[in-house]
Structure 1
Amino acid sequence: MGVAEYWLHRVDASKWQFLCHAADRGDLVLHGSGNPGITEFVPRRPPDLTEFGSRHAVFAAADGIWPMFYAILDRDIGEFSMCTGCVPDDGQARYHFSLTAATLARRPWRDGMVYLLPAATFEREDSSAQAASPVPVRPVAKLAVRPTDFPFLHQVHGHHDDELRARAAADPGGFPWHR
């Protein structure tokens, strides 16, 4: 039994509560993936509309719930866009999860893994829980998650890609653009 499973068993907590507790410590950030065998994360440049999110880096979150979405999202189902965020709002996290409407209708969920990474090399974005490291990072632990572990599964929105891009271009600071 790993540390995460032991803690969950002893405290009788949900996986999202454990991950939030881990992120709140401050010395860890979390990364969600469908790949259960990652031993080292290497920097890459993702397609992102924001300056911070489009840099060459390893990306993670200083939050326990946001990475769960990435862990359970099956990105191999075809081309689609997503608009996600975890924004601090009066000491609370405000979440937004949106996928191309046609993709959401196909229920693109899978089992995944949330990796716990040391936060030492990560820089945090001022306006969200997103964090980026310019250097490779090795996980210190990982926790398997299922779609049923994600507390906002039934609150994921569907959007139309052209409309989302137009709103983002017209108002770059108007996240989440899906209203």
Structure 2
Amino acid sequence: MKTVVINFLFRILFYPLPKILISKEEENAFNHLFESSCKKVDKLITYNLAIPKIKFLYYLTKNKRIILHGSNNKEIDKFEPRQQTLYNGELATAIFATKDPIWPVFYAILDKEKIVGNIRNGSISTNGKKYFHFYSITKPTLLNKPWTTGMIYILAEDSFTKISKGAIQFNEWVSEKAVSPIAKLEIEPSDFYFLNKVAIHRSEESIVKSWLLYKVRSLIKGA
């Protein structure tokens, strides 16, 4: 019963991953592009398809043993574990990534140097299957014009473990081992599906308040 109630609240407060349908022709194009890019020395995917990149990333997460990491840094050859904060506030020395095709795009296009205060975001679920999204930044960050180009790094899933459990789960995976990208895709702000659904919050307010007001704020003051 508790899960049903939380899931109902998520549907009211956050945005679900959009329904994505992929044709056989798109599947063939995605496979060819991915496989050929993995063989390149620089691993860079030259994306010349007239198909939204979200569909390509979605296809990869559903059909390949891969995981995604978004960054402003476009020249990462190897990821090393470093101390970071988990979804529950605990510290961990690890590499963070996700199987969600949208969440890492936010981290790729948000210029870290222009963040004032904090950011609040996530890909969350009650059952580990259907995920809901929320993205919020402070007004000073928005005024800094924080959107930039970035990179989505495609990593082998082998060393990663999903850590979130319980009634509320984040699509957050970690690896305690160093990993090198098997491919990478350059991303622009226009590739972020929820760009116009980024809300504004005050740094000092509680996360619960940010959650409760997120959707209303995103509709009134989309970034």
How much has 1:45 moved relative to structure 2?
Answer: 1.5
Amino acid at match of 2:161: E
Identity of aligned residues (%): 31
Find 1:83's aligned residue among 120, 134, 155.
120
Asked if 1:121 is matched to 2:156, the reply is no
CA contact (8 A) 1:83 1:176 kept: no
TM-score by length of 2: 0.67
Residue identity in the other structure for 1:101: K
Report the CA distance between 1:107 and its aligned residue.
Answer: 2.6
Q: 3-state DSSP class of the match of 1:57?
A: strand
Tell me by how many angstroms 1:25 deviates: 2.5
* AA of the residue aligned to 1:128: F
CA contact (8 A) 2:87 2:170 kept: no
Aligned to 2:142, the other structure's residue is in SS state helix
Q: Check the 8 A contact 1:101/1:157 in 2, yes or no.
A: no
Q: Which runs of 5+ in 1 are unaligned?
A: 169-174
1:44 to 73, 82, 86: 82
Partner Cα separation in structure 2 for residue 177 and residue 85 of structure 1: 14
Is the CA contact (8 Å cut-off) linking 1:24 and 1:63 kept in structure 2?
Answer: no
Q: Which has the greater radius of gyration?
A: 2
The one of 186, 193, 213 aligned to 1:144: 186
- TM-score, reference length from structure 1: 0.82
CA contact (8 A) 2:85 2:92 kept: no
| CA distance, structure 2, for counterparts of residue 178 and residue 30 of structure 1 | 29
Which of 24, 43, 61 pairs up with 2:62? 24
Following superposition, the deviation at residue 177 of structure 1 comes to 5.9
Aligned alpha-carbon RMSD (Å): 2.4
Question: Does residue 93 in structure 1 map to residue 131 in structure 2?
Answer: yes
Which residue number in structure 2 is paired with residue 171 of structure 1? Answer: none
Higher helix share: 2
Structure 2: gaps (5+ residues)? 1-32, 38-44, 215-223
| Secondary structure class of the residue paired with 2:80 | coil
In 2, the alpha carbon distance for the partners of 1:106 and 1:96 equals: 21
What secondary structure does 1:56 align onto? Answer: strand
Give the direction of change, closer, same or farther, for the CA distance of 1:64–1:25 in structure 2 (3 Å limit). Answer: same
CA distance in 2, matches of 1:162, 1:154: 23
Work out the number of aligned pairs and report it: 168
Could you tell me which residue of structure 2 aligns to residue 102 of structure 1? 140
